[in-house]
Structure 1
């Protein structure tokens, strides 16, 4: 995933020191309106990451001045070509310390949204993923991004209160 320009600017000033970054995960769900139209289990839109080959929900870093819901909508459109709308905040979690191969250190505070599918056919829309598609929530592909199983479970629990993971 390409490093946003504002982070590259920060890195010139602070080097490899740890950054706390706001991030979003957008769990786009397609639920059956009619039992005959779709399988009983909801479907989840997933991307296969180009950097590590793991499957997961669409996610990314918020841009300066961008609200979390706007970032979630943008990330889905940029990565999959799909239009989705935020339904609710499903979870808020600490992604933990990430140390990249170049030595950069980051912690991501992730806001996960339950998103409703609006329109569009899933497609690889940028260089961050190699595949995109709908999957039954009962049969997620492997390998899978570590934190995303919990985030998807929280999003699928429609109407439940937001979960918080310390």
Structure 2
């Protein structure tokens, strides 16, 4: 028998929704691939991870990472080639939509040539980790800078 928390149980115990997302940072030497966001209403005009997105229901974090890399960059990544960087736990103004768990993964091996596949970005570029473009989505900049200087920890809290 599989035990599950019911919606009634969650409602009675005051639980909130945490939105999980994955970020795939392709790395070539000391450079990282970033996209310039546009037309999304969320940090448009900012540089961001080459591939990122929400985990879909029934999908593992690694499956989501591989799917996002294919959908956004047209590349295939194998789950075994993904390197755990950090789990970023973010909170905002207390709204459920602002409770986030972001898994950042590095990847040095992929198949295909990265290219924009969707209309949510207008540019794609390789940047040295120690010379990032400006602006970068703030919570992503934290991870990138700490990755560059070696101070990245397994858990990165933001907003607490």
TM-score computed with the length of structure 1 as normaliser: 0.68
Partner of 1:45: 33
Distance (Å, rounded) in 1 between the aligned partners of 2:144 and 2:109 = 15
Partner of 1:68: 61
Structure 1 unmatched ranges of 5 or more: 1-17, 32-41
- CA 157–68 in structure 1, closer or farther in 2 if over 3 Å, else same: farther
Question: What is the RMSD computed on CA atoms of the aligned residues?
Answer: 2.7
Partner of 1:34: none
Q: How does 1:81-160 map to 2 (within 5 A)?
A: 81-85=74-78, 86-97=81-92, 105-155=97-147
Partner of 1:28: 26
- CA 161–54 in structure 1, closer or farther in 2 if over 3 Å, else same: closer
Number of residue pairs the alignment of both structures matches:
135
Q: Is the 8 A contact 1:98 1:105 kept in 2?
A: no
Partner of 1:35: none
Indicate the structure with greater strand content. Answer: 1
Please state how far the C-alpha of 1:47 moved relative to its aligned partner: 0.8
- CA 149–161 in structure 1, closer or farther in 2 if over 3 Å, else same: closer
Q: Is the 8 A contact 2:130 2:148 kept in 1?
A: no
**Is 2:71 the partner of 1:78?**
yes
Q: Partner of 1:152: helix, strand, or coil?
A: helix
Q: Is the 8 A contact 2:82 2:106 kept in 1?
A: yes
Distance (Å, rounded) in 2 between the aligned partners of 1:105 and 1:30 = 34
Deviations 1:113-134 (A, max 9, x none): 1212323222220122111122
Please state how far the C-alpha of 1:90 moved relative to its aligned partner: 0.8
